[in-house]
Amino acid sequence: ILNVEQSPQSLHVQEGDSTNFTCSFPSSNFYALHWYRWETAKSPEALFVMTLNGDEKKKGRISATLNTKEGYSYLYIKGSQPEDSATYLCASNRDDKIIFGKGTRLHILP
């Protein structure tokens, strides 16, 4: 993998359900992985920055894991709420570059 890939591109989840999505990135020369939450008409807001293989971070109902050896990170949302509707971006820092994925657009259905 040479680019940062996020899947799925779009996701519809019933309110109250839990969900997760994936960020895949080049595993060589890895330094850091960022997750951002981007609401419509606003700017991206940092959720997590992870650097070590096996890192797990949590903020309220949202958590993330990191596997640097295989080049992926998962973002989990437990008990989805309407305010979780947003685009979730990941970004990989490799060498002196930071490259963003195109995001997973999450829609929470009432």
By the criterion CB under 8 A, which residues form the site for other proteins?
31-32, 34, 36, 42-46, 49, 51, 89, 93, 95-103
Structure-token pair, residue 96: 């002196």
Query: Cβ 41 to other proteins, closest distance in Å?
Result: 9
- Decide whether 61 or 97 has the Cβ nearer to other proteins: 97
Start-to-end C-alpha separation, the chain: 36
- Decide whether 68 or 80 has the Cβ nearer to other proteins: 68
Number of CB atoms found within 10 A of residue 22's CB = 15
Query: Cβ 17 to other proteins, closest distance in Å?
Result: 27
- Decide whether 65 or 93 has the Cβ nearer to other proteins: 93
SS (H, E, C) 42-61: CCCEEEEEECCCCCEEEECC
Pairing verdict, β 97-100 and 72-77? unpaired
Query: Cβ 22 to other proteins, closest distance in Å?
Result: 16
